[in-house]
A and B are shown apart, each in its own frame.
Chain A
Amino acid sequence: MAPKAKSVKPPGSTIGAKPSKMKGRPKIRDDDDMTEIGDLGDDSYVHGKTLVKPDDQLDLSEVELKEEFTRILTANNPHAPQNIVRFNFKERTYKQTSSVEQIAIHFALDGNMLHKDSDEARRQRAKAGMGESKSEAALSEAGEEEGGEGEDGEKEEVVEAPPPKKESLRNQFNFSERASQTFNNPYRERGTATEPPPRANFSSTANQWEIYDAYYEDLQKQEKAKDKTKQIPTYRKEDDKTKKKLVAMETASDDISRVTRAAKIVERMVNQNTFDDIAQDFSYFEDASDEFRDQEGTLLPLWKFSYDKAKRLAVTSICWNPKYFDMFVVGHGSYDFTKQGRGMLLFYTLKNPSHPEYIYSTESGVMCLDIHPIYQYLVCVGFYDGSVGVFNTQEKRPGPVYKSTAKSGKHTDPVWQVKWQKDDLDNNLNLYSVSSDGRVVSWTLVKDELIYADVIKLTVDDLPTEGPDGTQLQLLGCGTSFDFHKKIDYLFLVGTEEGKIHKCSKAYSSQFLDTIDAHHMAVDAVRWNPFHPDIFISCSADWTVKIWDHNYGNQAMFTFDLNSAVGDVAWAPFSSTVFAAVTADGKVHVFDLNINKYEALCEQSVVQKKKTKLTHIEFNPRHMIICVGDERGYVTSLKLSPNLRKVPKKKKGEENVGIDHEIEIAKLDKILSLVREPDNKEKK
Chain B
Amino acid sequence: MSEVEETIKRIQSHKGVLGIIVVNSEGIPIRTSLDNSTTVQYAGLIHQLTMKARSTVRDIDPQNDLTFLRLRSKKHEIMVAPDKEYLLIVIQNPSE
Contact = CB atoms under 8 A, between A and B. Distances in A.
Interface stretch (A8-16, A23-31, A221-229, A257-265): A257-265
B85 A273 contact: no
Among B5, B7, B8, chain A packs the most CB atoms within 10 A around the CB of: B7
Contact of A267 (B7, B22, B62, B70): B7
Contact of A259 (B22, B58, B70): B22
B35 interface: no
Contact of A263 (B4, B63, B82): B4
Contacts of A255: 1
Q: Residue among A257, A265, A266 with the most chain B CB within 10 A?
A: A266
- 8 nearest A-B pairs in the assembled complex, by CB-CB distance: A209-B58, A212-B62, A262-B81, A209-B62, A273-B94, A257-B1, A262-B88, A262-B83
A464 B33 CA distance: 72
A276 B96 CA distance: 11
A209 B7 CA distance: 32
Contacts of B10: 267, 354-355
A270 B4 contact: no
A269 B88 CA distance: 12
B77 A273 contact: yes
Contact of B90 (A260, A270, A355): A270
29 contacts: A207-B55, A207-B58, A209-B55, A211-B62, A212-B58, A213-B62, A253-B25, A254-B24, A256-B4, A256-B22, A257-B3, A261-B81, A263-B4, A263-B7, A264-B7, A266-B11, A266-B68, A266-B79, A266-B88, A267-B7, A269-B70, A270-B14, A270-B17, A273-B77, A274-B14, A274-B15, A274-B16, A276-B94, A355-B10
Given A253-B24, A354-B10, A354-B14, A212 B82 contact: no
A276 B15 CA distance: 12
Given A270-B90, A273-B94, 10 more contacts: A205-B55, A209-B62, A254-B24, A257-B3, A258-B83, A259-B4, A262-B86, A265-B88, A266-B11, A266-B68
DSSP majority for the A interface?
helix
B92 interface: yes
Nearest to A260: B4
Interface string B55-96: 100110011000110100000010101110111101010100
Nearest to A276: B94
A271 interface: yes
A471 interface: no
Contacts of B92: 270, 273-274
A255 B84 CA distance: 13
A265 B4 contact: no
A255 B30 CA distance: 9
The B interface, classified by DSSP as helix, strand, loop or mixed, is: mixed
Contacts of A249: 85
Nearest to B86: A259
Most buried by B among A211, A212, A256, A270: A270
Given A259-B22, A266-B81, A269-B90, A209 B11 contact: no
A208 interface: yes
B87 A262 contact: yes
A208 B62 contact: yes
B55 A261 contact: no
Contacts of A256: 1, 4-5, 8, 22, 30-31
A263 B8 contact: yes
A263 B62 contact: no
A205 B82 CA distance: 19
Nearest to B8: A263
Contacts of B82: 262
Contacts of B25: 253
A266 B1 contact: no
A365 to B, nearest CB: 25
B61 to A, nearest CB: 8
A92 B79 CA distance: 79
The winner among A209, A212, A213, A265 for most chain B CB atoms within 10 A is A209
Nearest to A265: B81
Nearest to A273: B94
B11 A270 contact: yes
B59 A271 contact: no
Nearest to B6: A355
B9 to A, nearest CB: 10
Interface in B26-58: 30-31, 55, 58
A208 B55 CA distance: 9
Contacts of A263: 4, 7-8, 11, 81, 88
Nearest to A269: B79
Given A208-B59, A266-B90, A276-B94, A260 B79 contact: no
Nearest to B57: A209
Contacts of A270: 11, 14, 16-17, 79, 90, 92
Residue of B1, B3, B62 with most chain A CB atoms under a 10 A cut-off: B62
Residue with the highest number of chain A CB atoms closer than 10 Å, among B24, B30, B86? B86
Nearest to B87: A262
Contacts of A205: 55
A209 B59 contact: yes
Contacts of A209: 55, 58-59, 62
